[in-house]
Amino acid sequence: MYHILYNPLAAHGQGQRKIQGLKDILRGQDCLYEDIREVKDYKALFANLKSDDKLVIAGGDGTLCCFINATDGILPENEIYYYAAGNGNDFYRDISKEPDKLIKVNSYIKNLPTVEVNGMTKKFLNGIGYGIDGYCCEVGDQLAKTSEKPINYTAIAIKGLLFHYKPTNAKITVDGVTKTFEKVWLAPSMNGRYYGGGMNVTPAQDRLNEEKKLSVGVFHGSGKLKTLMIFPSIFKGEHISHTDVFSVMTGHHITVEFDRPTALQIDGETVLGVKSYTVHAGVPAKEEVATV
């Protein structure tokens, strides 16, 4: 049996509609659908799974991230699959080139990195956005409260670059080595390559690398006009050629400190008033990935 946990609120409330594609994939299979918001006791749910039952998470990056944190340390041995029914779907974009597939994710959701910020510690799936990306999530959250229209984060970023967002100075420490940067626009720490709905910010990052190293990218030292000219190239990962304004460092322990409070996002979840965050890599682990 396929036990499907779906999020009807994914994709700005379109999750219910989007899982029709999943129903088409699993037509003829024995399936049980359950609103993931209604799950109160994951231990009890997992205890009732038969050894050959398969668990499916259907939603966006945020749905999968919430599931990961709610089940940390208690995941069953059953095969766990993911169906992308969100808006940005950066996790799916990172691990699959084929649309509308069920992806086995057991290897991806174990031994994940953690972030410590404002007294909170949690696992993250894709990355920690800090700088104008956190600002975009902050503005997007405000717009979502007053409108049901899809949020255009690219437009928010461009307006922020031109008028509203002010870059910071930053101190970044990677495995004990500290560097300082001026006029920092972005300082994300990444487990995968993508965030922000398709921004390929760290194109060399492999979330299944054997050393479990993370990447921190720093967009720094440029004025508004140059930043605006380079910014669109992030979606293709071509911004890394601008080595005078974009730097990438890799390691297991990363701390980013800004000289003023700025919004931060954890797989799309906004945290306000952040002056620093620290991430720690997970324990090395690698498994074969399968698709159906």
CA 233 remoteness from chain centre: 20
State whether 207 and 124 are in the same domain. yes
The predicted-structure confidence for 235-273, as pLDDT tens digits, reads as follows 999 999 999 999 999 999 999 999 999 999 999 899 999
- Residue 288 within any structural domain of the chain: no
Domain count, the chain: 2
- Average pLDDT by consecutive 10-residue portion of the chain (292 residues)? 95 82 94 96 97 97 96 96 93 92 95 97 97 93 82 86 94 98 98 94 97 97 95 96 98 98 94 98 59 48
- Cα dist from 57 to 3, 6, 60, whole Å: 9, 6, 9
| Confidence (pTM) | 0.92
Task: Show the domain range for 121.
Answer: 114-280
Domain boundary, last residue among 70, 104, 138? 104
pLDDT value of residue 87: 86
Residues 36 and 5 sit within 8 Å (Cβ to Cβ) = yes
- Residue 7 within any structural domain of the chain: yes
pLDDT value of residue 100: 86
pLDDT value of residue 153: 81
Domain boundary, last residue among 63, 78, 104? 104
pLDDT value of residue 288: 40
State whether 143 and 276 are in the same domain. yes
- Cα dist from 82 to 10, 106, 126, 242, 291, whole Å: 14, 10, 15, 35, 10
Q: What CATH number should be reported for the domain holding residue 242?
A: 2.60.200.40
